[in-house]
């Protein structure tokens, strides 16, 4: 809630706010920000959306994005979406980026039949991501979460099924068809 209050908006559309959170958000004073303040707010929002990226990592990605041809903003988002933790989150089996990162760090994610424990691993189109079925407790928890994602009609906002991933929820396998830059969450002020 502290992050939502400091940003002045709900950045997670899949998590509806409680009435108490809405009233607290309504009481936040909306002041006009300077260009520097706007830049810092966008940076904090982006960091929060992708699970708390550090400033130094954002600078590294920005330098990498400026080298590639095309718009540097689109390249920046492309490199963030190419990360393994982003792909595991987009599979809709984890509710947060931090949960996806923890799953990766605990050696539960395989890319092309090799265990990968680096959340910033860059995946390529054609890669196969698989969640390890060996740990039955983790598999059952993920099964419940995926089942609730597919059958929960009571919530008003559901995450979109990613078009750039071919997902099998029975085996928790995913084939990356292409890296999608256009299907990202946009924040409107």
- Neighbouring C-beta atoms of residue 54, cutoff 10 Å: 9
Contact between residue 51 and residue 85 where contact means Cβ atoms under 8 Å apart? yes
Is the pTM higher than 0.95? The answer reads no
The strand pairing partners of 165, in sequence order, are 176
pLDDT along the chain (189 residues), means of 10: 61 69 68 83 82 88 89 87 90 83 92 93 92 69 62 50 79 80 45
pLDDT tens digits, one per residue of 82-120: 999 999 988 888 878 888 899 999 999 999 999 999 999
Residue 76 in tokens:
């920046």
Residue 69 in tokens:
């041809």
Q: What is the pLDDT of residue 101?
A: 92
How far apart CA 66 and CA 61 sit, in angstroms, is: 9
Angle, vertex CA 104, rays to CA 100 and CA 110, nearest 5: 120
């Amino acid at each position: 809630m502290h992050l939502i209050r400091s940003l002045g908006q709900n950045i997670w559309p899949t998590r509806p706010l409680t009435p108490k959170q809405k009233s607290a958000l309504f009481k936040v004073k909306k002041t006009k920000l300077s260009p520097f303040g706007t830049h810092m707010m966008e940076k904090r929002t982006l960091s929060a959306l992708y699970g708390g990226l550090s400033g130094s990592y954002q600078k590294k990605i920005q330098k990498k994005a400026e080298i590639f041809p095309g718009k540097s903003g689109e390249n920046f988002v492309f490199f963030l979406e190419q990360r393994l933790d982003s792909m595991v989150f987009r599979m809709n089996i984890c509710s947060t980026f931090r949960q996806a990162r923890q799953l990766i760090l605990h050696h539960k994610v395989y890319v092309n039949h090799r265990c990968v424990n680096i959340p910033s691993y860059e995946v390529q189109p054609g890669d196969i991501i698989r969640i390890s079925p060996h740990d039955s407790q983790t598999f059952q928890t993920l099964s419940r979460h995926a089942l609730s994602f597919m059958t929960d009609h009571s919530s008003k906002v559901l995450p979109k099924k990613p078009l750039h991933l071919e997902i099998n929820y029975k085996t928790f396998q995913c084939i990356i068809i292409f890296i999608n830059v256009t299907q990202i969450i946009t924040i409107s002020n």
